[in-house]
Amino acid sequence: MEKKMTHKEHTLAFGAPEKDLHFTPEEYRSRLTRIRKEMAVKNIDMLYVTQPDNLCYISGYRAEWYQEKGPHAWKGLSGIAIHVDHDNYIHFEGEDEKLMAQSTTVSDDLRIVGHEDPHGMEIFVADNLESEGWLKGTVGIEMYSHRPNRLDSEAFQKTLEAKGAKIVDGSDITLSVRKLKSPAEIECAREAARIGDIGFKAALNVIKPGVSELDVFAEIMYAMLKAGGDIPAIQLPVVAGKKNACFHALSSKREIKPGDLVNIDICGVYKKYHSDVTRMVSMGTPDPEVAEYIGHVTGALDIAKGILKPNLPVSEFLDVMTKYYKSNGLWENQWWIGGYELGISFPPDWVGAYYFDVDTDPGDDTFEPGLVTNYEANFYLPKGAGLSCFIDTMAVTEDKVEFMHTIPAELIIIE
């Protein structure tokens, strides 16, 4: 008599939700092709990907938990194996995530380790890759990733080396491919900016003396989620009064007071793609000297718009902006001037791998078509007023450099 399936067996066999892909299969194939080309350039035969952002970029996979913390027995070693000579990758997951992987990814070769497996994910992955012949050569693992943690990553490396693999750091391969966005990705960035602007307008509708920083944060998130947005990879800072000089501070129950200057930093998110916008808000008429100073900070946006164009050398852009800040008496009070890549991000960070700033020689870097970054210009204010922060997001296409947010650059005054 045939054994009746348990509820667990039936659900895992037939319970996958409907497909929920963020991009077309062709988009994902294009990404895989470019990664394999980069692997060939770096002489890497196989790449094992574990970073959540990269797993999403390659396959569409997205989850709430990646075993980054927790019991030592629960290792964050699930991932995607890519071979330079094979058109398809192998996606390894635990049975708890099988249905989610089937729903959110284009993974055709999904290999699942069950709870009953006595060896766990590490040996399961290693044995499968050995049987495929994928450990005969140079294998890249993502040593720069926070997942898996250092102890688990080193143990996994030793297991692969014991099977004959030569292990090298492959962290930069997918990150370098991700730097330049496809047209479909740039559309996601535009939508993220639209959603971010909705969040900012919601903040302006609610902010007033007596309202807490967290009250404003809550309205921002509610508005963006209702507009079709997603959860940002970092908690959005709304910081007021002297606390505004602590730009990376968490929003708190501190009440906003008359006369406060408030920095509001918002990342709109769409399909995990982030945009970034920061403006300063004054609760009442600001001190004239402080207001004039902030005007010089925000006035740089017009300078940037006037010179930026596709393939402009980054060094040329930074030289022009440096001259502007020096001519307006801001230079010696800088906090940070530069930008970093934006794209797919999961907690705990939305900061991309590529950056430029006035303190680092960019070499031959240019603003290549496909690049999406923010631009930050942040300065300490006179009269102990804290920090003036200005951030916007720009995308480089074949014919222009587009600043994506519509929130006015100047100091916003709430009477």
Secondary structure of residue 35 in the 3-state scheme? helix
Residues 6+ apart with CB under 8 A from 298: 390, 409, 410, 411
Q: What is the structure's pLDDT at 213?
A: 98
Res. 118: pLDDT tops 70: no
Q: What is the structure's pLDDT at 115?
A: 85
Q: What is the structure's pLDDT at 1?
A: 63
Q: What is the structure's pLDDT at 283?
A: 98
The answer to whether the CB of 232 falls within 8 A of the CB of 246 is no
Q: Could you tell me what percent of the chain has a pLDDT over 70?
A: 100
Indicate if the alpha-carbon torsion angle 75, 80, 84, 88 is positive or negative.
positive
pLDDT digits (tens, 9 = 90+) for 334-390: 999 999 999 999 999 999 999 999 999 999 999 999 999 999 999 999 999 999 999
Residues 6+ apart with CB under 8 A from 341: 178, 179, 352, 353, 354, 355, 371, 372, 373
Rounded to whole angstroms, the Cα distance separating 238 from 304 reads 26
CA–CA–CA angle 347, 351, 353 (5° rounding): 115
Scanning the structure block, which residue is given the tokens 């007033």? 208
Secondary structure of residue 298 in the 3-state scheme? helix
Mean of pLDDT values over 189-212: 98
| Amino acid of residue 229 | G
pTM of the model: 0.95
Q: What is the structure's pLDDT at 69?
A: 87
Mean of pLDDT values over 259-275: 98
Res. 287: pLDDT tops 90: yes
Q: What is the structure's pLDDT at 132?
A: 98
Mean of pLDDT values over 312-326: 98
Supply the DSSP symbol for 265: E
Domains of the chain listed by start with CATH number: 7-178 (3.40.350.10), 183-414 (3.90.230.10)
Scanning the structure block, which residue is given the tokens 């705990």? 348
Residue 137 backbone dihedrals phi, psi, to 5 degrees = 150, -155
Indicate if the alpha-carbon torsion angle 162, 164, 167, 173 is positive or negative.
negative
